[in-house]
Amino acid sequence: MTEWINQIAGTPEGARIASMLALSAALLHAIFGALQKGRHDPWVSRAAIDIAIVAIALPVVLFIAPWPEPALWPIFAGMVVIHIGYKLSQAMTYQRGAYTVVYPVVRGTGPLVTVIMASIVFHERYNLIQWLGVATLVAGILGLAAYNYRKLDVGRETLIPALIWAVITGIFVAAYTTYDAWGIRQAASPLTFLAWFFLLDGLFMPLFARRRLVALPRAEWRGLAIRGVIGAFVAFASFGSIMMATRIDEVGRAAVLRETSTVFAALVGWLVLGEKVGPARAALMALIAAGAVIMEFGAG
pLDDT (0 to 100) of residue 156: 65
The two counts, helices (H) then strands (E), for the chain are: 14, 0
Give 296's pLDDT tier (boundaries 50, 70, 90). Answer: confident
Higher pLDDT, 73 or 40: 73
Give 66's pLDDT tier (boundaries 50, 70, 90). Answer: very high
CA–CA distance, 227 with 49 (Å, rounded to integer): 7
Region at 10 (left for phi over 0; alpha for psi -120 to 50; beta for the rest): left
Residues 40-63: tens digit of each pLDDT: 677 788 889 999 999 999 999 999
CA–CA distance, 298 with 82 (Å, rounded to integer): 31
Give 154's pLDDT tier (boundaries 50, 70, 90). Answer: low
pLDDT (0 to 100) of residue 175: 93
Instruction: Mean pLDDT check: name the lowest of 68-72, 142-146, 268-272.
Output: 268-272
**Which H/E stretch holds residue 35?**
helix 12-37
pLDDT (0 to 100) of residue 299: 66
The pLDDT of residue 266 is above 60: yes
Domain coordinates of the chain in residue numbers? 2-299
Residues 191-201: tens digit of each pLDDT: 999 999 999 99
Give 103's pLDDT tier (boundaries 50, 70, 90). Answer: confident
Torsional sign, CA 59, 33, 48, 182: positive
pLDDT (0 to 100) of residue 280: 81
Distances (CA, A) of 58 to 65, 194, 200, 232, 282: 10, 12, 10, 13, 42
Who's near 154: CB < 8 A, 6+ residues apart? 98
pLDDT (0 to 100) of residue 254: 86
Average pLDDT over residues 268-287: 74
Identity of the highest mean pLDDT range in 64-73, 93-102, 272-281 = 64-73
CA–CA distance, 144 with 56 (Å, rounded to integer): 36
Residue % of the chain over a pLDDT of 70: 91
Give 38's pLDDT tier (boundaries 50, 70, 90). Answer: low
The pLDDT of residue 15 is above 80: yes
pTM for this model (two decimals): 0.84
pLDDT (0 to 100) of residue 233: 94
Average pLDDT taken over every residue of the chain: 84
CB–CB of 38/227 below 8 Å? yes
Residues 216-265: tens digit of each pLDDT: 888 888 888 888 899 999 999 998 899 999 888 888 888 888 878 777 87
Average pLDDT over residues 129-155: 81
Give 71's pLDDT tier (boundaries 50, 70, 90). Answer: very high
Average pLDDT over residues 4-13: 80
pLDDT (0 to 100) of residue 90: 83
